[in-house]
Amino acid sequence: MDILTKIKEAGLVGRGGASFPTWRKWAMVKDALGEKKYVVCNASEGEPGVKKDKYILENYPEQVIDGIQRAMEFLLAERAFIYLNPDYFKELKPKLEKFIGNAKYIELFKKPHGSGYIGGEETGCINTIEGERTEPRLRPPFPTTNGLWGYPTLINNVETFYNVSIVVAGKYKKNRFYTIDGDCLWEGVYELPENYTIERILKETRNYPDFSFFVQAGGAASGEILNSDGLKKPASGVGSIRIYSLEKHNPKDLILNWLNFFQRQSCGQCTTCREGTYRLVEEIKKNKLDWELINDLLANLEDSSFCALGYSAPIAVSSFLKNALPLISKNRIV
């Protein structure tokens, strides 16, 4: 059985957040025309609260390297890059170089300081490796046909390459890694079945609160806010779960924290994102909030932003207003 069939039968999907079928992306790069092909392992991990890629690189570097090599062999790729968060580069470079060994065609690439969240977006990552400004490209064309230096490029998350290795070894159990943090007793990274609900994950890890709470699922900036009634949904596609006590956190401070993150991380290319996040921060700081304007700005970000950073910015705020604020005394935000 060839590797593409093994990946397809395993039902493996990307672990970078989009949950795109891994076999399909590999097939697209394989079928794309190009004199050269490249592989990129995206370990930028710029979303606050997500630490699973670092955990995997610390504990399973051999499997990650093996997954990258399998991809290169399948695609007949010329080179591969492990695109590392700068802190991870500093901490993990010796360990990764040990497992890369003499495979000089696999290069560790340090994500520049200050490139932030957008430096982990696929095309932003490509621009950075090429030495261009860190900002997203217009798509299509997609990296699968026009990636690094215009050639077909496979970009997968660290966890995806790890999973490819264990699929080939016949050890894949349909698990995934979850970062759990916030107002809980046992922060950390856990490996659990991908079909578990958020509620079950919290209970299995002994992190289900005995106080009134809500969670942010998918990252501590762009993740969706869910109250305790929304925890029955499967956690597939969620890389992190942050727990918040209803009593401990000021709603206005939380909203400003999320919006300040996106305002700082905006590359400035897109007017909707650049100006929208700025205006939202301005409005939330006011004593009297104009909810009609705030909701319009959130809708514009979602509908007309150029890349994922812009249309991810409203998720936490909008879902907080819907799922958490009704549980909190309104005089804490209005």
* 88, 47 contact by CB (below 8 A): no
d(CA 275, CA 144): 31
Rounded Cα distance between 161 and 78, Å, is 17
- Residue entry with tokens 């590392």: 84
pLDDT of residue 331: 45
> DSSP string spanning 45-62?
--STT--HHHHHHHH-HH
pTM listed for this prediction: 0.93
Beta strands in 212-298 (DSSP E): 213-217, 224-227, 240-245
**C-alpha torsion sign, points 226, 230, 333, 244:** negative
CA-nearest of 314, 284, 311, 307 to 126 is 307
Tokens 């319009």 belong to which residue? 296
Give pLDDT, residue 211: 93
With CA atoms as reference, report the closest residue to 264 among 17, 18, 46. Answer: 46
The 3 state secondary structure assigned to 145-206 is: CCCHHHCCEEEEEHHHHHHHHHHHCCCCCCEEEEEEEECCCCCEEEEEECCCEHHHHHHHCC
Q: Which of 241, 321, 324 is nearest to 284 (CA)?
A: 321
Walk me through the domains of the chain, giving residue ranges and CATH numbers.
Answer: 3-168 (3.40.50.11540), 175-245 (3.10.20.600), 251-315+326-332 (1.20.1440.230)
Pick from 86, 234, 64, 73: which is nearest to 157 by CA?
Answer: 64
Confidence at residue 332, expressed as pLDDT on a 0 to 100 scale: 56
pLDDT < 70 regions, the chain: 16-17, 329-334
State the pLDDT at residue 19: 77
